[in-house]
Structures are given as structure tokens and as C-alpha cells.
């Protein structure tokens, strides 16, 4: 007998045959039979214990030391630069930089999303005014009778002069007469923002000066360049080392048995990218190939990210395709809306004055509600035209996907409105989830493909990618790059680059396979 494995294999068969030959008809027979089983169980439990201890020791001996990576410093750097990206953004105004568009999106969709409380939103508005040195009191909330009634109590609760119960009672009273109270509060804030815009401009200007002084970055483009370096630095830190590969294998993020030399998947991964005449044992050659494959991997990730936000780009394309060459300024539309707002607000002020002077005409309150409704529609129309004016300022037939990404990134309100529309979402958390996916992709300054992708042309990204890598002797064609194939392609690239990394280290695929299986055994024994 050569070794313990052969011994066990034979011994198991012998013992099975022995047991099957034992009579089990009587109680005495069964006792003897069970007694033999107990004896074998004891013996094999002792074998198992010995092998288990050996496996544990072997696993310890083969373990790959973890490499400590410090992400804190680069994350901090990115956080500071992201602040700069917002402050220095040349596309948007103090309104967006203050985050008012984000708050107004939430408030204007209050009924759609069934938020629990409007009070937190109102507090966030008030806090933004406070940060810019603007103190609001009940006199600032005289948009109509009902807004004033609610906000008067709200501000008293904020100061501790009234209770939350008082506010709830007030809301109940108002709601049954004026169910649009929240949108009325919204346009009261819109008016206040408009009125105080200069103060917000100077506040942002002050913040900008401080930022430039503190960080030595004075232009948006310089900020984006620095962000790109920081992202690359993070990407480098994120690069898998062998200890990461072991951890991922143990956590079943990939199947290590597919990496063994005997695996068909491994063979197909190599043959699907590399021509037969490539010597995969040539270390230098494989180093070059893996560096190319890593770039391909990043391109595929970018392509995947692009596909995830494509409906937003398509929606933009559909809206502006026809006017991209004959764009006319919409400044007159903007002015007309502003004039209408002024007129309606003047009428509202007169009615509010009459009500405040004790005029009991019930029609006055109804008229104030009707005017407020018209004003809400006017403000929304103004938002649309304002965004359009920003689009028109940069719209041209050579616009790239990257330019569109910047636009929506600069105007949060429109990004979310578009997301809500194109993905047909009625759940706020879903909108935020999709918005975060958008931000993660659009903010990445290392994106390459979208920078040169004309938004108003039909683009074939799979062809662009495939042609690029054919030049590098990587066997890939555009049919391989269908969205459904991307994960499989990425898995194959990971296999080749990981095996190369493992081969360059002190460990082997077989050792990692052992660690993974030893780990499974340890977990199983712990559970028993």
C-alpha cells in the first residue's frame, strides 16, 4: 500500500464488506453489528482528528500574509477634491451648489414618495439659510394665509415655544382646507431663495475663496486633473494582491477549482483571448499581455457603467437631437415666466394683505390657493427653462457623452427628474439608488471611452473596444462584447491575470485551492 489515501480507500471497502456480511436478524446480531460500527467510528474519528489537525497546520504554513492598505488618506483626498468639484463647477449656480435643487426635488415629490415627515425637509431648508447668515422668521412665510399659519407654529416649535403636538394639530386643520399646503411651502422657499440669491452668491464666493486658499486649486479643470490622479492612486491601491485573491477565493467570489491546470474553464479562458502561438510560460510576454488585459478589464467595467446609465443619455439625445444645430436662446421664455411669476405674486400679496386685515370674504382664501397653484406650475416651468438654458449654453452637434454626464451631475434636480421618468420609478429609495449609480459612473475622471463618444451619433462601443485590442493581439470581436457576455469575459480576464500574479508569487493555485478547501473543512468541523 503506497500511502494513507490508498489505505483508507481499501480499508473502507473491506469494512463495508465485513459489515454487510454480519447477520442482523436477532437482537444479539444487531448488538454485535452495532458494536462493530462503534469500533470503526471510533477508529475513523481518530483518523479524522489526526488528518484535521494536519490540515489546519498545513493551512497555517501555506497562508499568505495580508498586505495592509491605507485607503484613508486617498479617500480623504478625494473627499476634499469632490468638494472642490462642486464649488468650482462652472456649469451650475449658487442655487445648485447650496444643494437647494436636491431639497426642492424632495419637497416637490413629497406626495409621490410618501415621505414620513415634511418637518425634516423644512429644517434642512432653514439650516441652509442660516449657514449663509440669513435668519428666517414667520414674516418670511407670508406666501399665503395657510403657509403663514403653519410656518408660524413650525418656527415656534423650532425655538421650543410650542410643541410638536401643536404643529400636528395645525397641519390637520390646514390640510383639510388646503391639501396642497406642502407645495405652497415649497414655493414660499423658492421665492425666499430667489430673493436672497445675492447673499447665497456671496456665501458661495466666500467658500470658494477659502477653498482655493486652503487647497491651492483655483480652477475646475485643475481640480478634475487632481481628482483623476487621486482616483488612479486609489485604483492602484485597489489592485488585487495575492492575499486579496486568497480572500476572494475563500469568500467564494470566484471558484478556485476553475483556476487549476486541469480545468476546462482555464483552458478556454486562455484560448479565448490568446492565439495558440503565445507562450504562456514566457514570463515577460505574459506580463505584457496581463497589463493589456487589465486595461481591457477597465474598459469593460466602463462599458458596463455606461450601459447602466444609457437610458439617461438616450433621453437627453431624444430631447435635444432636433435642436442641436439650430439652437435659439430661450432667454425670452425665461423672462416671460419671471414676469408672470412677479405678476401673480403681486396679486397674491394684495389678497394676503386683505386677509390679514380681517377681510372675511371666503373667496379670498380660495383665490389665494388658486394663484398659488398657478405659481407652482410657473416655478416648475421656470426650472425646466432654466435647465434648458444651461443645456443650450453648451449644446452642439459634437457634444460627447462625457459632456452630458457633467450636465446632469451639475443639476441634481434634473438628474433625478430624468431618472424618475426614464426608469419609471415611484419609490424615492429607488431613485436615490439609481442616482448613486449615475454619480459613481459620471464622477469617475478616469473614464476613457465616454470622453470621445459623440452623443448624437450611433456609437458601437463593442466595435471600438474590439478594434483597439485586436491591435494588441488580443483575440476579441464585437460579438464577444454583448451585455450578457460581459461578466463571463471579465471572469476569464481575471483568471488569466490572477494566475499570472499567483505564478509571480511564492504561492501556487494548488496551494490556494488547498487553503479554500481546508477552510471549508474547518467551518464544517466547527459546525459539528
Partner 1 sequence: MLNDKVDFDLSLLSLEELIEVFNDIDSFIQYLLDSKIEVEKEDENE
71 binds partner 1 (CB under 8 A): no
252 binds partner 1 (CB under 8 A): no
Q: x-or-dash pattern for partner 1, window 90-109, by CB under 8 A?
A: --------------------
522 binds partner 1 (CB under 8 A): no
Whether the CA torsion 223, 229, 235, 237 is positive or negative: it is negative
Q: For partner 1, which residue of 37, 112, 232, 394 counts as binding (CB under 8 A)?
A: 37
19 binds partner 1 (CB under 8 A): yes
14 binds partner 1 (CB under 8 A): no
- Residue list 124-143, contact with partner 1 (CB under 8 A): none
Q: Please identify, using beta-carbon distances, which residue of 5 and 471 lies nearer to partner 1.
A: 5
In the complex, minimum distance from the CB of residue 451 to partner 1, in angstroms, rounded to a whole number: 48
475 binds partner 1 (CB under 8 A): no
277 binds partner 1 (CB under 8 A): no
Beta bridge partners of 400: 454
Q: Please identify, using beta-carbon distances, which residue of 8 and 432 lies nearer to partner 1.
A: 8
Put residue 269 in one of left, alpha, beta given phi > 0 → left and psi -120 to 50 → alpha: alpha
In the complex, minimum distance from the CB of residue 226 to partner 1, in angstroms, rounded to a whole number: 48
In the complex, minimum distance from the CB of residue 518 to partner 1, in angstroms, rounded to a whole number: 7
Q: For partner 1, which residue of 26, 117, 275, 277 counts as binding (CB under 8 A)?
A: 26
Angstrom distances, CA of residue 444 to CA of 69, 76, 406, 451: 21, 16, 11, 11
**Cell triple for residue 503?**
505564478
Q: Please identify, using beta-carbon distances, which residue of 262 and 328 lies nearer to partner 1.
A: 262
CA-closest candidate to residue 110, choices 179, 158, 192, 194: 179
18 binds partner 1 (CB under 8 A): no
40 binds partner 1 (CB under 8 A): yes
3 binds partner 1 (CB under 8 A): yes
255 binds partner 1 (CB under 8 A): no
In whole angstroms, what is the distance from residue 528 CA to residue 517 CA? 17
In the complex, minimum distance from the CB of residue 504 to partner 1, in angstroms, rounded to a whole number: 20
Q: Which residues contact 103 (CB under 8 A, 6 or more apart)?
A: 121, 124, 125, 128, 189
- 476 and 461 Cβ atoms separated by less than 8 Å: no
Q: What angle do CA 473, 475, 480 make, to 5 degrees?
A: 145
CA-closest candidate to residue 428, choices 16, 91, 160, 108: 108
In the complex, minimum distance from the CB of residue 282 to partner 1, in angstroms, rounded to a whole number: 27
In the complex, minimum distance from the CB of residue 42 to partner 1, in angstroms, rounded to a whole number: 10
**How many CB atoms within 10 Å of residue 173?**
13
5 binds partner 1 (CB under 8 A): yes
Binding range to partner 1, per CB under 8 A, among 31-39, 356-364, 411-419, 437-445: 31-39
Angstrom distances, CA of residue 272 to CA of 256, 269, 313, 472, 487: 19, 5, 33, 14, 14
10 binds partner 1 (CB under 8 A): no
In whole angstroms, what is the distance from residue 204 CA to residue 198 CA? 10
55 binds partner 1 (CB under 8 A): yes
In whole angstroms, what is the distance from residue 251 CA to residue 448 CA? 32
- 185 and 118 Cβ atoms separated by less than 8 Å: yes
- 449 and 299 Cβ atoms separated by less than 8 Å: yes
Q: For partner 1, which residue of 23, 46, 112, 356 counts as binding (CB under 8 A)?
A: 46
Q: Please identify, using beta-carbon distances, which residue of 4 and 353 lies nearer to partner 1.
A: 4
Q: Please identify, using beta-carbon distances, which residue of 493 and 516 lies nearer to partner 1.
A: 516
Q: Please identify, using beta-carbon distances, which residue of 33 and 298 lies nearer to partner 1.
A: 33
526 binds partner 1 (CB under 8 A): no
Q: Please identify, using beta-carbon distances, which residue of 49 and 319 lies nearer to partner 1.
A: 49
Q: For partner 1, which residue of 14, 18, 23, 50 counts as binding (CB under 8 A)?
A: 50
Q: For partner 1, which residue of 47, 113, 220, 297 counts as binding (CB under 8 A)?
A: 47
158 half-sphere exposure, CB direction, 13 A CA radius = 18
Beta bridge partners of 515: none
Beta bridge partners of 454: 400
Q: Cα 255 to the chain's mean position, in Å?
A: 27
The full DSSP string for 158-174 is HHTSS-HHHHHHHHHHH
> Can you give the binding site for partner 1, defined by CB under 8 A?
3-5, 7-9, 12, 15-16, 19, 24-27, 30-31, 33-34, 37, 40-41, 43-48, 50-52, 54-55, 58, 510-511, 513-514, 517-518, 521, 524
Amino acid at each position: 500500500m503506497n500511502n494513507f489515501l490508498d489505505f483508507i480507500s481499501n480499508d473502507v471497502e473491506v469494512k463495508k464488506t465485513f459489515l454487510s456480511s454480519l447477520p442482523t436478524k436477532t437482537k444479539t446480531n444487531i448488538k454485535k453489528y452495532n458494536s462493530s460500527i462503534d469500533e470503526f467510528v471510533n477508529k475513523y474519528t481518530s483518523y479524522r482528528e489526526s488528518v484535521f489537525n494536519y490540515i489546519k497546520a498545513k493551512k497555517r504554513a501555506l497562508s499568505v500574509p495580508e498586505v495592509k492598505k491605507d485607503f484613508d488618506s486617498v479617500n480623504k483626498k478625494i473627499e476634499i477634491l469632490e468638494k472642490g468639484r462642486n464649488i468650482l463647477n462652472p456649469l451650475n449656480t449658487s442655487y445648485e451648489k447650496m444643494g437647494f435643487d436636491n431639497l426642492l426635488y424632495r419637497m416637490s415629490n413629497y406626495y409621490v414618495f410618501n415621505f414620513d415627515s415634511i418637518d425634516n425637509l423644512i429644517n434642512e431648508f432653514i439650516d441652509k439659510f442660516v449657514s449663509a447668515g440669513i435668519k428666517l422668521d414667520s414674516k418670511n412665510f407670508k406666501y399665503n394665509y395657510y403657509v403663514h399659519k403653519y410656518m408660524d407654529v413650525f418656527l415656534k416649535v423650532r425655538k421650543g415655544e410650542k410643541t410638536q403636538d401643536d404643529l400636528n394639530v395645525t397641519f390637520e386643520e390646514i390640510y383639510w382646507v388646503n391639501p396642497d399646503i406642502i407645495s405652497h411651502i415649497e414655493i414660499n422657499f423658492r421665492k425666499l431663495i430667489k430673493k436672497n440669491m445675492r447673499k447665497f452668491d456671496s456665501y458661495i464666493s466666500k467658500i470658494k475663496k477659502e477653498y482655493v486658499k486652503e487647497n491651492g486649486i483655483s480652477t475646475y479643470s485643475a481640480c478634475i486633473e487632481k481628482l483623476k490622479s487621486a482616483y488612479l492612486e486609489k485604483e492602484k491601491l485597489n489592485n488585487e494582491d495575492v492575499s486579496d485573491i486568497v480572500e476572494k477565493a475563500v469568500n467564494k467570489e470566484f471558484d478556485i477549482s476553475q483556476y487549476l491546470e486541469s480545468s476546462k474553464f482555464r483552458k478556454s479562458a486562455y484560448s479565448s483571448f490568446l492565439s495558440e502561438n503565445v507562450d504562456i510560460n514566457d514570463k515577460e510576454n505574459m506580463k505584457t499581455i496581463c497589463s493589456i488585459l487589465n486595461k481591457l478589464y477597465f474598459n469593460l467595467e466602463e462599458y458596463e457603467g455606461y450601459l447602466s446609465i444609457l437610458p439617461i443619455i438616450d433621453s437627453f439625445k431624444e430631447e435635444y437631437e432636433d435642436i442641436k444645430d439650430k439652437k435659439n436662446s430661450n432667454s425670452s421664455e425665461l423672462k416671460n415666466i419671471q414676469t408672470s411669476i412677479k405678476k401673480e405674486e403681486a396679486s397674491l400679496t394684495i389678497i394676503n394683505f386683505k386677509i390679514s386685515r380681517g377681510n372675511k370674504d371666503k373667496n379670498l382664501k380660495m383665490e389665494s390657493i388658486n394663484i398659488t397653484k398657478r405659481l407652482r406650475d410657473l416655478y416648475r416651468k421656470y426650472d425646466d427653462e432654466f435647465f434648458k438654458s444651461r443645456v443650450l449654453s453648451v449644446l452642439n452637434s459634437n457634444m460627447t457623452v462625457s459632456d452630458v454626464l457633467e450636465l446632469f451631475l451639475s443639476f441634481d434636480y434634473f438628474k433625478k427628474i430624468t431618472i424618475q421618468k426614464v426608469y419609471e420609478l415611484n419609490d424615492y429609495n429607488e431613485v436615490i439608488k439609481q442616482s448613486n449609480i449615475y454619480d459613481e459612473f459620471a464622477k469617475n475622471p478616469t473614464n476613457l471611452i465616454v470622453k470621445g463618444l459623440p452623443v448624437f451619433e450611433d456609437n458601437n462601443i463593442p466595435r471600438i473596444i474590439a478594434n483597439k485590442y485586436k491591435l494588441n493581439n488580443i483575440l476579441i470581436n464585437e460579438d464577444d462584447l454583448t451585455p450578457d457576455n460581459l461578466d463571463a469575459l471579465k471572469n476569464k480576464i481575471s483568471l488569466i491575470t490572477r494566475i499570472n500574479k499567483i505564478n509571480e508569487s511564492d504561492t501556487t493555485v494548488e496551494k490556494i485551492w488547498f487553503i479554500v478547501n481546508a477552510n471549508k473543512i474547518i467551518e464544517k468541523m466547527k459546525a459539528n
